[in-house]
Amino acid sequence: MQYLKGVGPKLAAVFRSREIETVRDLLFFFPRKYEDRTKMSMLQDIGEGTTGTVQLTAHQHFTRPLRGRFQKLFEVKAYDAQKQWVSLKWFRIFKGFEKRFEPGAQFTATGTMKVFGSVREMVHPDVQFESAEEDIHVGRIIPVYVEIEGIPTKTLRRILAAALDHAASQLPEELPEWVLKQHRFPNLSKAIREVHFPSENFSQDDSGSFTEFRSPAHQRLIYEEFFKFEYHVLSRKLRNEKEPGFSLDEKTLAKSLKAHAKKFPYELTKGQKDSVKDIFLDLSQPHPMNRLLQGDVGAGKTAVALLTALSAMDQGYQVAFMAPTEILAEQHYQNTLRMFGADTSVRLLVGKTTASERKSLQAQLDSDQPTLVIGTHALIEDPVKFKKLGLVIIDEQHRFGVDQRRKLREKSAIQPHTLIMTATPIPRTLALTAYGDLAVSIIRERPPGRTPIKTKMVRVGETDKMHDFIRKEIEAGRQAYFIFPLVNDSEEEDFKHLTSAVSAAENLANVVFPEFKIGLLHGKLSPNEKASIMERFRKNEVQILVSTTVVEVGVDVPNATAMVIEHAERFGLSQLHQLRGRIGRGAHASTCFLRTNRPLHIPTPERLEVMCETEDGFKIAEADLELRGPGEFLGTKQSGALPFKMASLVRDQDWLLKAREDVEKIMKDDPTIAALENKNFKRYLEQAGKKESAHLGTA
């Protein structure tokens, strides 16, 4: 970068801090949006909060000192051809900037209009003087980039223009020739030029397609990102299928299923039966299973997992079942003991497991005895060794990083079968990317006996009515949750208005529900304290459980029929859906209250409306992906974030599906990538492709 015109060592260091080290890196640093500056406006035509471009004449300028973060304010008074006035303000300027605004100087300004009374102003507008040598900042569709501190936007555009002149024509084509023809894509060089500096001969329709990332140049680059990604993901899937694994006998699996399913309190649903069928077919293959089991909250994934575990044990294998919290691990352990304890060997391994219990467990595993070990990340942190680990089950997979899953699988000399479960339904586009190397089974229906959950918004002034409803539920023998985002009252400015779980528990116990027993559960309690409170709640010795989101995953108390989620606007959609899933697990009607302190005249966030409209986890997941994007949806622990610079899983779903189809075609027709029409792609795989494949953490 430093040898490119206009850069040098100092700016090159700034670019390097954003992982832009070469000219090619810069060319693939794409605009985040575009501004249409093909039309000039008059000041009176630019509404408040909208962006416009206007020709102005400077009248006067001045600088005044400020207190606080910014030391001074530079302000220019200017007017347009209709003698309408505007104030332009900058809190940061470079040396000599003010000299350009001498009275009478003409320039173009683009910015967002603010109006205070009769005074218009633009803060940090982009300005262009008529005497400037370039026309890349005005009179056209202008690219807007993520800000790089230390490099002004106009400087960045100038450097990009130099990079395009210097290197765009040298970019090697990396897509197969038949793909370019089939989709009528421009070549890479032309596409890169167009996305940075759109051609000037646009019609109105063209400019719209550009600002919405629908131009041929954009669609070609979006497709290319998906095509390469899907090739790496599907290649990994093929490699997994070629690894040696434990093959289980199909007939014995069928006998095991028949014997163990009898002990469940209900008949398996169609979705559960279909999932077991998928899994057992995988287990009978000579290569390791890698399957994702999706099911909405309360769909019965754990039942499928236990049937799989017990069936593997019947053929002499040991099983590791990893849960994200001690509460959930303990619950799985107790449920397994209750249903199968007399017939199977099941052990618990969590943080509080004593040294003598650990020693006993290890001796059991060393003896080659088929054992189901249910635990938390203690399974990988503890020096546990399995003699014959045949199956790994990972519950709520989004709570574990790629490395944790890999470490658990490495407990076996031969790759074990792996079943990954999630109660966060994953939209199809996300499943094809983040989990594209896994086979997928979906349980859509809920087990019989589960009742629908009503979800209601509770605003300021409606709390007493909600409390009366909960009182009647408890008097009828039911139980309730109150969920809070914080453990203790926070002094931080952003959280002063939020009620904490600790102070709420005191208020509920002493003022609102003094006649009922109230328990408090949060992440700062010791494992023994958490287990004790949950056990008392299960036995109905505690009628109201006040908790943070520690109950979000898997806690199963069928007698709980009411939930209040305080400050509901603080939670994401998927998290709200998970929390709500703690009720509606028995035969009694259940109600979830989403409480907010917003007055009636202030609209509620869109995600809360979605929660009131549907219980369908897949609809909620689609809405959540659209509202938050894939990064937040996957969670911070999802190692190997999706590497898309331009593609959007929400906006560009159709291109993802087309790219995957094309990748499947090339793998079928030309598995060694030897055909002449694929020579461009073969060169990519031999060079940059190896590095990119290594960076993808989708395993």
What confidence score (pLDDT) does residue 667 get?
A: 93
CB-CB contact of 416 with 391 (8 Å): yes
What confidence score (pLDDT) does residue 491 get?
A: 44
What confidence score (pLDDT) does residue 552 get?
A: 58
Res. 203: pLDDT tops 50: no
Q: Please name the residues in contact with 527: beta carbons below 8 A apart, sequence gap of 6 or more.
A: 326, 350, 351, 352
What are the tens digits of pLDDT across the range 593-615?
A: 999 877 666 666 777 888 888 88
Average pLDDT (361-379) is: 89
CB-CB contact of 121 with 56 (8 Å): no
What confidence score (pLDDT) does residue 629 get?
A: 64
Res. 533: pLDDT tops 80: yes
Give the tokens for residue 174. Answer: 């990396």
> Residue 226 and residue 223: Cα distance in Å, rounded?
5
Q: Which helix (H) or strand (E) holds 607?
A: helix 606-613
Transcribe 101-161 into DSSP letters: G-TT-EEEEEEEEEEETTEEEEES-EEEETT-S--SSSSSEEEE---BTTB-HHHHHHHHH
> Residue 277 and residue 1: Cα distance in Å, rounded?
56
- Terminal CA-CA length for the chain: 34
What confidence score (pLDDT) does residue 217 get?
A: 93
Transcribe 427-463 into DSSP letters: -HHHHHHTTTTSEEEEE-SPPTT---EEEEEE-TT-H
What confidence score (pLDDT) does residue 181 get?
A: 95
Strands (DSSP E) found in 548-683:
560-565, 590-595
Give the tokens for residue 349. Answer: 């391994």
Q: What share of the chain in percent tops pLDDT 90?
A: 38
Strand 72-79 to 51-65 pairing: antiparallel
What confidence score (pLDDT) does residue 600 get?
A: 64
Kindly indicate the confidence band of residue 430, based on its pLDDT and cuts at 50, 70 and 90. confident
Res. 380: pLDDT tops 60: yes
Q: Please name the residues in contact with 128: beta carbons below 8 A apart, sequence gap of 6 or more.
A: 107, 108, 109, 137, 138, 154
What confidence score (pLDDT) does residue 262 get?
A: 87
CB-CB contact of 271 with 295 (8 Å): yes
Kindly indicate the confidence band of residue 225, based on its pLDDT and cuts at 50, 70 and 90. very high
Kindly indicate the confidence band of residue 402, based on its pLDDT and cuts at 50, 70 and 90. low
What confidence score (pLDDT) does residue 698 get?
A: 38
> Residue 364 and residue 381: Cα distance in Å, rounded?
19
**Is the model more confident about 478 or about 341?**
478
What confidence score (pLDDT) does residue 137 get?
A: 64
SS3 assignment for 50-107: CEEEEEEEEEEEEEEECCCCCCEEEEEEEECCCCCEEEEEECCCCCCHHHHHCCCCEE
What are the tens digits of pLDDT across the range 25-84?
A: 999 999 988 877 777 889 998 988 888 889 899 999 998 887 766 678 899 999 999 999
CB-CB contact of 54 with 85 (8 Å): no
Q: Please name the residues in contact with 211: beta carbons below 8 A apart, sequence gap of 6 or more.
A: 33, 34, 35, 36, 141
Query: How high is the mean pLDDT of the chain?
Result: 84
Per-position b or e across 75-91, b if 16+ CB within 10 A of its CB: bbbbebeeebebebebe
Res. 470: pLDDT tops 50: yes
Kindly indicate the confidence band of residue 335, based on its pLDDT and cuts at 50, 70 and 90. confident
Domains in the chain, CATH or no CATH each: 1-35+153-169 (no CATH), 39-139 (2.40.50.140), 171-242+652-699 (no CATH), 250-443 (3.40.50.300), 453-614 (3.40.50.300)
Sequence letter at residue 326 = E
What confidence score (pLDDT) does residue 204 get?
A: 44
Q: Long-range CB contacts (< 8 A, 24+ apart) of 381-389?
A: 382/349, 382/358, 384/349, 384/411, 385/411, 386/318, 386/320, 386/411, 386/412, 387/318, 388/316, 388/317, 388/318, 388/412, 389/317, 389/318, 389/319, 389/320, 389/416
Average pLDDT (343-365) is: 88
Tell me the torsion sign for CA atoms 574, 576, 582, 586.
Answer: negative
> Residue 430 and residue 171: Cα distance in Å, rounded?
30
Name which of 253-257, 331-335, 464-468, 474-478 the model is least confident about.
Answer: 331-335
Residue 316: other Cβ atoms inside 10 A? 13
What are the tens digits of pLDDT across the range 305-321?
A: 999 999 999 999 999 99
Kindly indicate the confidence band of residue 637, based on its pLDDT and cuts at 50, 70 and 90. very low
Kindly indicate the confidence band of residue 252, based on its pLDDT and cuts at 50, 70 and 90. very high
Average pLDDT (546-573) is: 82
Kindly indicate the confidence band of residue 632, based on its pLDDT and cuts at 50, 70 and 90. low
Length of the chain: 699
List residues bridging with 52 in a β-sheet.
111
> Residue 475 and residue 491: Cα distance in Å, rounded?
37
Average pLDDT (197-211) is: 62
Res. 644: pLDDT tops 90: no
Res. 170: pLDDT tops 80: yes
What confidence score (pLDDT) does residue 134 get?
A: 54
SS3 assignment for 258-318: HHHHCCCCCCCCHHHHHHHHHHHHHHCCCCCCEEEEEECCCCCHHHHHHHHHHHHHCCCCE
Name which of 180-184, 201-205, 310-314, 368-372 the model is least confident about.
Answer: 201-205
Residue 129: other Cβ atoms inside 10 A? 14
What are the tens digits of pLDDT across the range 265-302?
A: 788 889 999 999 999 999 999 999 989 898 877 788 88
What confidence score (pLDDT) does residue 553 get?
A: 57
* Winning range, highest mean pLDDT, from 141-145, 210-214, 396-400: 141-145
Closest CA to 48 of 112, 132, 124: 112
CB-CB contact of 158 with 134 (8 Å): yes
3-class SS of residue 521: strand
